[in-house]
Amino acid sequence: MVTAMSGEKSSQAPAAAGASSSDRDRQQDDGDIQKLATCNNNGDNQTEKKQQLPASLAFTAQAHPATLTAPVAQDSPNYLTYKKMESIIERMLDEESGVPVKTVKTFMTKIPSIFTGTDLITWMMRNMDVDDQEALHVAQLMAAHGYFFPIDDHSLAVKNDNTFYRFQTPYFWPSNCWEPENTDYAVYLCKRTMQHKTRLELADYESDYLARLQKLFSRKWEFIFMQAEAQNKVDKKRDKLERKVLDSQERAFWDVHRPMPGCVNTTELDIKKVCRNAGKSIPAFAATQPSANRRPNQQIHRSAGELKREIELLKQRLDRRIIKVSKVADALIGYFEQYAEYDPFFTLPEYPNPWVSDNLEMWEQDKLPREVSARRVKRWAFSLQELLADPVGRDQFIRFLDKEFSGENLKFWEAVHHLKTLPQKEVREQVTEIWNEFLSPDASCPINVDSRSYEATKKNLEKPDQWSYDVAAAHVYHLMKSDSYSRYLRSDLYKDFLNVSKKKTSVKGIRSIVSFTARKDTQAV
């Protein structure tokens, strides 16, 4: 198996490109981040070599040398779990009895140090005395922690097929308790953009991450870019096959610590385990607290190692967020920021309240479609529900659907909603009319629904009621929301209507200023 971190070539670490010689000496003296365990070679014995810090973590090592020092492994609440998984991985890495690792040759390239999902599951069934389902479940858990990974996918999952996988280098195993910072991730993503290769292109969520990080670190982005550029130059000097392995292992490391949306983040610690572990072991800073069993003037003798560890813990607590804002809170804040312009408590409403004043413009605004304000048109872009709630927006959307020959979708959806407002004696007749108009084989205005929704609706008609078409209506609404609505917002019809509304709003504002000035001059005379 190709060595995960070669000692000779990796000695020219990207961090050394931007760091001084004194920085390199300090990094070499740090034993916690310089010992790297390597995987097996093809036909060679397993060796251990001292290497420098990987390129993905070089930025933090230069800016904050103490930050990347991994905490004591035994303090991790998942330490025993990691050791059990790593004992299995070590058996898998055995050259004679382990998982068969090979290099696959294609038409123009070679794929080094890989194994298939079928080989992995077969090995686990033979050596762990489990069936295929349990072996697949255990493999899924180990892949989620990053011990092996698919070479062509960001999702750390295992399939019992011929998909190619690769072992992670022991240096990146979770038992080392890495806590990489956002600056390291920014350097890694920036370096990926410089490597013009298909296999290294950024995914959509990684591009969003990069945009947010660039905005967050705008003041020092030039330094981050220089670090990424220096690391990219060093990577180009490596052997082609070794570079493939290192790139995939680095990508898998970040897939564990910055997983793609929808995947489980295994680096988050269970609060119950942390509290239980804290109850068993007294933290280093707890010794400074006064105790009832100790006299106030009694001196506490602690070693230099304990004091250094306490300092490191306090430094880590300074950089760590105390409050974690949940996604629900972020969504709620975003909602209120979006609608703040339309909240009458914060922004003056476009039309006065007719219940407070004698002005009836709020009730008569639907009769004057030409006087639609730009602020009202902008609200249509919030959601399809906002667009359909506005009568003028609904008319504009109907015009767009008619141009694309899909107006029957909105007609069907509105007919289903109208069905729920009818008295019970008229429901059966209306259900039949909707079926004959939209869903029957000889329908005058047929709609396109999937087979599951069609069969469910057909079954509901055995006992027709006001909710017989809910499944089909939900499917049609999803089609309009995901396809027609998004295309409407990009269409010239919406953009032209918005521009015209902006011009009318600006002219109306100028006229109001002129009339106010004229009244003021008249009063002065």
pLDDT digits (tens, 9 = 90+) for 307-329: 888 888 888 877 766 555 667 78
CA distance 504 to 51: 68
Over the Cα atoms of the chain, what is R_g?
A: 32
**CB neighbour list of residue 194: distance below 8 Å, 6 or more residues apart:** 228, 229, 232
**pLDDT(57) > 70:** no
Kindly tell me the number of DSSP H helices and DSSP E strands found in the chain.
23, 6
Closest CA to 57 of 205, 259, 254: 254
Query: Same structural domain for residues 498 and 362?
Result: yes
Please report the pLDDT score of residue 367 as a whole number: 62
Which string of DSSP letters, residue by residue, matches 441-499? Answer: TT-SS-----HHHHHHHHHHTTS--TTTTHHHHHHHHHHIIIIIHHHHHHSHHHHHHHH
Structure tokens that stand for 260 in this block: 């793609």
The beta strands (E) that lie in 34-181 are given as 35-37, 48-50, 102-105, 110-116, 148-150, 164-167
> Which residue in the block uniquely carries the two structure tokens 């002065």?
524
Position 337 confidence tier, pLDDT thresholds 50, 70, 90: confident
Indicate whether 78 and 206 sit together in one domain: no
pLDDT on residue 115: 93
| Separation of alpha carbons 246 and 227, rounded Å | 18
Choose between 514 and 325: higher pLDDT. 325
In percent, how much of the chain has pLDDT > 90? 18
Cα(386)–Cα(37) distance, integer angstroms: 58
Q: Tell me whether residue 436 is in a domain.
A: yes
Location of structure tokens 């339309």: 342
174 phi and psi, to 5 degrees? -65, -25
Of residues 346 and 35, which shows the higher confidence score?
346
Domain ends where: 125, 145, 176?
176
Beta-carbon contacts of 276 under 8 Å, excluding residues fewer than 6 positions away, are 77
Q: What's phi and psi for 50, nearest 5 deg?
A: -85, 130
Place of tokens 């869903």: 439
Asked if residue 119 and residue 237 are part of one domain, the reply reads: no
In this predicted structure, what is the pLDDT of residue 26?
A: 41
Helix residue ranges per DSSP H, 158-263? 182-194, 204-216, 221-236, 240-257
Q: Residue 77 is encoded by which pair of tokens? A: 């609440």
Residues 197 and 164 in one domain: no
Residues 238 and 370 both lie in one domain: no
Instruction: Tell me if 477 sits within 8 A of 484, measured CB to CB.
Output: no
Q: Which amino acid is at 186?
A: A
Segment 236-240 mean pLDDT:
84
Report in angstroms the alpha-carbon separations of 427 from 401, 477, 510: 28, 22, 53
Same structural domain for residues 374 and 501? yes
Start-to-end CA span in the chain (Å): 96
* Integer Cα distance of 39 and 89 in angstroms: 11
The pLDDT assigned to 470 comes to: 92
Question: What confidence tens digit (pLDDT) does each residue in 469-484 have?
Answer: 999 999 999 999 988 9
Contact, 453 vs 470, CB < 8 A?
no
- Read off the CATH number of the domain in which 125 is found: 1.10.10.10
Lowest mean pLDDT among 42-56, 219-233, 364-378, 411-425: 42-56
CATH for 456: 1.10.167.10
- Integer Cα distance of 393 and 370 in angstroms: 12
As beta bridge partners, residue 35 has 50
- Distance CA(307)–CA(250), nearest Å, equals 34
Judge whether 254 lies within some domain: yes
* Residue in 7, 172, 165, 208 with CA at minimum distance from that of residue 86: 172
Answer yes or no: is 370 within a domain.
Answer: yes
Taking residues 169-180, what's their average pLDDT? 83
SS3 of residue 345 by DSSP:
coil
337 Cβ contact partners less than 8 Å away, ≥ 6 residues apart: none
Q: Is residue 48 part of a domain?
A: no
Q: Are residues 147 and 202 in the same domain?
A: no
What is the number of structural domains in the chain?
A: 3
Is 113 contained in some domain? yes
Q: Indicate the range of 47-51, 275-279, 327-331, 332-336 predicted with least confidence.
A: 47-51
Residue type, 494: Y
Spatial contact of 58 and 33, defined as CB atoms under 8 Å apart = no
| Residue 238 confidence (pLDDT) | 85
Mean pLDDT over 374-379 rounds to 86
Helical H segments across 73-157, by residue range: 79-92, 117-128, 132-144
Q: What is the mean pLDDT of residues 118-140?
A: 91
Q: Domain boundary residue among 236, 269, 302?
A: 269
Same domain, 116 and 184: no
291 pLDDT more than 60 = no
Range of the domain at 207: 178-269
Lowest mean pLDDT among 77-91, 369-383, 408-422: 369-383
- Ranges 205-214, 453-462, 515-524: which has the least confidence: 515-524
CATH number at residue 196: 1.10.1240.60
Mean pLDDT computed over 204-229: 88
When mean pLDDT is compared across 144-158, 454-468, 490-504, the lowest value belongs to: 490-504
Query: Do the domain assignments include residue 297?
Result: no
Last residue of a domain, one of 139, 156, 176: 176
Q: Are strands 110-116 and 102-105 parallel, antiparallel or unpaired?
A: antiparallel
For residues 394 and 363, membership in a common domain is answered with yes
**Are 166 and 114 within 8 A, CB to CB?**
yes
Domain-located, residue 518:
no
- 3 versus 319: the higher-pLDDT residue is 319
DSSP 175: G
CA distance 95 to 512: 85
Indicate if 183 and 231 belong to the same structural domain. yes
Same domain, 171 and 189: no
* Average pLDDT, rounded, for the chain: 75
Q: Are residues 364 and 447 in the same domain?
A: yes
Q: Does residue 396 form part of some domain?
A: yes
b/e per residue 408-426 (b: at least 16 CB within 10 A): bbbbbbebbeebeeeeeee
Higher local confidence (pLDDT), 197 or 337: 337
From the list 4, 187, 21, the residue with the least C-alpha distance to 89 is 4
Place of tokens 């022991």: 170
Range with the poorest average pLDDT among 9-13, 61-65, 401-405: 9-13
Quickly state the pLDDT bin for 435 (edges 50, 70, 90): very high
Amino acid making up residue 18: G
